[in-house]
Amino acid sequence: MASTRKSRGGLTYAHSGVDTDRRARSLAALLAAARYDSPASHGCPVGPIGHYAGLIRIGRETLAVTTDTVGTKVLLAQQLGRYQEIGEDVVAINVNDLASVGARAAGLVDVINCPRPDPTVFAALGRGIRRGLAAAECALLGGETAVVPDLLKAIDVGGTAIGFFPNGRRPVTGGRIRPGDRILGIPSSGFHANGYTLLRAVLRKRSMDLRRPRPGARVPLGVELLRATRTYTRASEALADASYIHGFGHLSGGGVLNLLRLRPDVAFVLDRWPELSDQFAWIRELGEVADRELFRTFNMGVGFAAIVAPKGVAPALRALRRAGFADSVEVGQVTEGRGVHLSGWGISYHEYA
Amino acid sequence: MASTRKSRGGLTYAHSGVDTDRRARSLAALLAAARYDSPASHGCPVGPIGHYAGLIRIGRETLAVTTDTVGTKVLLAQQLGRYQEIGEDVVAINVNDLASVGARAAGLVDVINCPRPDPTVFAALGRGIRRGLAAAECALLGGETAVVPDLLKAIDVGGTAIGFFPNGRRPVTGGRIRPGDRILGIPSSGFHANGYTLLRAVLRKRSMDLRRPRPGARVPLGVELLRATRTYTRASEALADASYIHGFGHLSGGGVLNLLRLRPDVAFVLDRWPELSDQFAWIRELGEVADRELFRTFNMGVGFAAIVAPKGVAPALRALRRAGFADSVEVGQVTEGRGVHLSGWGISYHEYA
């Protein structure tokens, strides 16, 4: 691209090659044209398109369906010749979206498109997929592999996950969120699988060496940046049946803006955001990306949020500890108003894009 | 590629850029490494991976899940600037796999990855998706759009469909197929969305002009080759509850080889294959691809097969006529033996790859 630098504040996602406004307009055009109401004999969709997962009532069960791809993180994997993390990611990013509506992960199908299939790469992807499935206790139901050298510059790894609501559990949609609620955050394991187009632009601009550790780190930078997405299925399972749970948020692409998907008519005030972990402090210190852009591109250290009634804070933290998420912390509160506000950072967002 | 010509018989899929053996080995490596048995509390997978659809028992329902992409047909769409057919295809290819196990289509999620989103292209895709949804009476549950210019040379369009088995219907897996059964075929609408890497190689080699009709045709060749995949949902719905139905086959990528997925221990003898329709006669007459390769790459005029008990032939054809498939015909029979045999063509296949 001609320029990757804005006049103020450095790299943005648009300048690194992703124009979120144009994407939003394209998506709106598709959804408007695709509108079709299927007959009830073919299942009854529940709620609008656009939440973390599509919900549909089929016979006597309500199902949740999510689909997502690992995106350009694969280009980093390709540079390093390591693919296991990508396999784990493709499961995690999908089951985490299921976790966001309180659905229990049941099955996954994967889609691997590539210019040329390599058994070694596929075996590594398979090992990662198994790790992801085990973390979510989810079955592999099938998949699709297309060899499309004319279409792809590198391997593309995506998937779709199906979940359900056991024993009369109701979907957690955020509709019960109200001012006074508290926001708990569960740390991420790193960049997960979002923002890699921007991240790679920073690496290129700074001519970073992926094979050496960054200052203060012990593993090579590339290995650190590839770390697999944390799986939040057990966190959601530990909380989803509790009456104090009012919403879940998966801070994937869009970072803290994901909270806006839960309810448009309250304010999410993140006034206790944890100190940035090494990785996020490092990307910030490089100084190529403004804080406002960082928090709407990366998870900035918190991968999953639970919005709970005030009386739920202590029991939720206890349940999370028992489920293996002892590092969960309170990160903010819900107030009257609108938008997402990072009080300590002087940042407010009012729209998703 | 260095050469697109084999010593005998012309172009093959491997020479056009798709190495099916290498793909098979890669897929086997992935499946071996990904093996994981999820606990019954997370749903119970039914049957092995590798059939047209993954089946899973969730609570009181059995669900079918399929995933597929339109592949390199999008490159033809791009050349012609027409995308509606691609939208219809992405629904049809997935619900047709659901139809192959007798599952009723319920919901679809789409995945559109592109180098740069274009609202006009997305609107055309949306119109096609609506047509596909209406043909299958299926709901759109959500989707994913990724802007990944570093990963893709052109737009990539895929989807995942979920189906179910209404009113106690049992999945149609082919397990009841036996010698003596008859094979009915429902005509395709053209190349559907398979074999386009090979098809485009032929077009290039012959320097065909996509903007002019081929001899004997009335619409430009490009428009003819883009024609959307026929949707077989209503055919499956019309037959799936009948006791005489022993199997369904979606003749997608792999052509007649798809029948091998139904049962390995019988022979599918296609001794009444219909006369080739204009399009398939044309590609054959070009002489660049051997017959053996044609029938394992393209559907060659039959997009969906129903394997029925002998007494089921007449009622099945009547039911298909009422469902809008009056062009269905008997194309062969099941006998003792193995493999797929095109008697009139002197072609036998014994393995899927």
- B71: nearest CB among A17, A41, A148: A148
How many contacts (CB atoms, under 8 Å) link A and B?
333
How far is Cα B86 from Cα B157, in angstroms, rounded to an integer?
8
Domain boundaries of chain B, sorted by first residue: 49-168, 182-349
**Chain B residues close to A166, C-beta within 8 Å:** 41, 59
- B26: nearest CB among A39, A117, A158: A117
Whether residues B58 and A61 touch (CB distance < 8 A) is answered with yes
Angle at A46 between CA A42 and CA A49, to 5 degrees: 105
Q: Contact, B81 vs B129, CB < 8 A?
A: no
Residue B287 has pLDDT above 50, yes or no: yes
Q: Give the pLDDT score at A15.
A: 65
Overall average pLDDT of the B70-95 stretch: 97
Residue B273: name the closest of B240, B298, B310, B253 by CA. B298
- Beta strand B302-308 with B339-342: parallel, antiparallel or unpaired? unpaired
Q: Give the pLDDT score at B348.
A: 97
- A38: nearest CB among B65, B109, B133: B133
Of the pLDDT bands very low, low, confident and very high (cuts 50, 70, 90), residue A8 is: very low
Put residue A164 in one of left, alpha, beta given phi > 0 → left and psi -120 to 50 → alpha: beta
Q: Mean pLDDT of all residues in chain B?
A: 92
Mutation site for B-interface testing, chosen from A4, A84, A100, A122 by largest number of B Cβ within 10 Å: A122
Q: Is A326 exposed, middle or buried (0-12, 13-18, 19+ CB in 10 A)?
A: exposed
Q: Give the pLDDT score at A77.
A: 97
Of the pLDDT bands very low, low, confident and very high (cuts 50, 70, 90), residue B228 is: very high
Whether residues A49 and B148 touch (CB distance < 8 A) is answered with no
Overall average pLDDT of the A229-253 stretch: 97
Residue A181 has pLDDT above 90, yes or no: yes
Q: What phi and psi values does residue B237 have, to the nearest 5 degrees?
A: -60, -35
Overall average pLDDT of the B62-66 stretch: 96
Whether residues B151 and A150 touch (CB distance < 8 A) is answered with no
Q: Which residue has the tokens 């399009």?
A: B279
Q: Contact, B165 vs B104, CB < 8 A?
A: yes
Overall average pLDDT of the A80-103 stretch: 97
**Chain A residues close to B19, C-beta within 8 Å:** 116-117, 147
Residue A16 has pLDDT above 70, yes or no: no
Residue B193: name the closest of B244, B230, B164 by CA. B230
Mutation site for A-interface testing, chosen from B21, B62, B144 by largest number of A Cβ within 10 Å: B144
Q: Give the pLDDT score at A59.
A: 86
Q: Give the pLDDT score at A44.
A: 94
- Smallest CA–CA distance from B253 into chain A, residue: A146
Of the pLDDT bands very low, low, confident and very high (cuts 50, 70, 90), residue A234 is: very high
Look up residue A67 and give its DSSP letter: E
- Per residue in B170-179, pLDDT (tens digit) is 999 999 999 9
Q: Contact, B87 vs B126, CB < 8 A?
A: yes
**Chain A residues close to B17, C-beta within 8 Å:** 147, 149-150
Give the distance, in angstroms, between the CA of residue A171 and the centroid of all CA atoms in the same chain: 19
Of the pLDDT bands very low, low, confident and very high (cuts 50, 70, 90), residue A20 is: confident
Give the other-Cβ count within 10 Å of B19's Cβ.
17
Residue A292 has pLDDT above 60, yes or no: yes
**Chain A residues close to B26, C-beta within 8 Å:** 117-119, 121-122, 145
How far is Cα A158 from Cα A109, in angstroms, rounded to an integer?
9
Whether residues A43 and B117 touch (CB distance < 8 A) is answered with no
Q: What phi and psi values does residue B137 have, to the nearest 5 degrees?
A: 50, 50
**Chain A residues close to B126, C-beta within 8 Å:** 29-34
- A119: nearest CB among B25, B104, B111: B25
How far is Cα A301 from Cα A303, in angstroms, rounded to an integer?
6
Distances (CA, A) of B326 to A335, B184, B187, B189, B329: 62, 12, 10, 14, 9
How far is Cα A284 from Cα A291, in angstroms, rounded to an integer?
7
* Least confident among A71-80, A255-264, A305-314, B44-53: B44-53
Whether residues B66 and A109 touch (CB distance < 8 A) is answered with yes
Of the pLDDT bands very low, low, confident and very high (cuts 50, 70, 90), residue A13 is: low
Q: Give the pLDDT score at A22.
A: 87
| CATH code linked to domain A182-349 | 3.90.650.10
Residue B226 has pLDDT above 80, yes or no: yes
**Chain A residues close to B202, C-beta within 8 Å:** none
As given in the structure block, the two tokens for residue A38 are 């299927």
Residue A301 has pLDDT above 70, yes or no: yes
Of the pLDDT bands very low, low, confident and very high (cuts 50, 70, 90), residue B181 is: very high
- B61: nearest CB among A60, A74, A122: A60
Q: Give the pLDDT score at B11.
A: 76
Where does B81-195 have alpha helices with state H?
A: 84-99, 119-136
**What was the ipTM of the complex prediction?**
0.91
How are strands ordered across the β-sheet holding B104-114? B44-46, B54-58, B61-69, B156-164, B104-114, B139-147
Question: Which of 1.10.3720.10, 3.30.1330.10, 1.20.20.10, 2.30.42.10 is the CATH number of B49-168?
Answer: 3.30.1330.10
Overall average pLDDT of the A164-193 stretch: 96
How far is Cα A186 from Cα A237, in angstroms, rounded to an integer?
14
Whether residues B150 and A200 touch (CB distance < 8 A) is answered with yes
CA distance, residue A216 to nearest chain B CA (Å): 30
Residue B320 has pLDDT above 50, yes or no: yes
- Per residue in B31-55, pLDDT (tens digit) is 999 999 999 999 999 976 666 889 9
Which DSSP string do the residues of B262-325 spell out, in sequence order? Answer: T-TTSEEE-TTPPPPPHHHHHHHHT-SB-HHHHHTTS-TTEEEEEEE-GGGHHHHHHHHHHTT-
- B152: nearest CB among A45, A147, A152: A152
Q: Give the pLDDT score at A171.
A: 95
Q: For residue B208, what are the contacts with CB-CB under 8 A and spacing of at least 6? A: B202, B214, B221
pTM: 0.93
- B65: nearest CB among A74, A109, A120: A109
Of the pLDDT bands very low, low, confident and very high (cuts 50, 70, 90), residue A11 is: confident
Give chain B's length.
Answer: 353
- Per residue in B118-169, pLDDT (tens digit) is 999 999 999 999 999 999 999 999 998 988 999 999 999 999 999 999 998 9
Fold held by A37-166: 60s Ribosomal Protein L30; Chain: A; (3.30.1330)
Of the pLDDT bands very low, low, confident and very high (cuts 50, 70, 90), residue A10 is: low
**Chain B residues close to A14, C-beta within 8 Å:** none
Overall average pLDDT of the A291-297 stretch: 96
Q: Give the pLDDT score at B5.
A: 28
Where does chain A have alpha helices with state H?
A: 20-34, 73-80, 84-99, 119-136, 196-205, 221-226, 233-239, 278-285, 291-295, 313-322
How far is Cα A91 from Cα A138, in angstroms, rounded to an integer?
9
- Per residue in B331-341, pLDDT (tens digit) is 999 999 999 99
Of the pLDDT bands very low, low, confident and very high (cuts 50, 70, 90), residue A49 is: low
Give the distance, in angstroms, between the CA of residue B349 and the centroid of all CA atoms in the same chain: 18
Q: Give the pLDDT score at A14.
A: 65
Of the pLDDT bands very low, low, confident and very high (cuts 50, 70, 90), residue A328 is: very high
Q: Give the pLDDT score at A332.
A: 98
Overall average pLDDT of the B263-281 stretch: 95
CA distance, residue A221 to nearest chain B CA (Å): 21
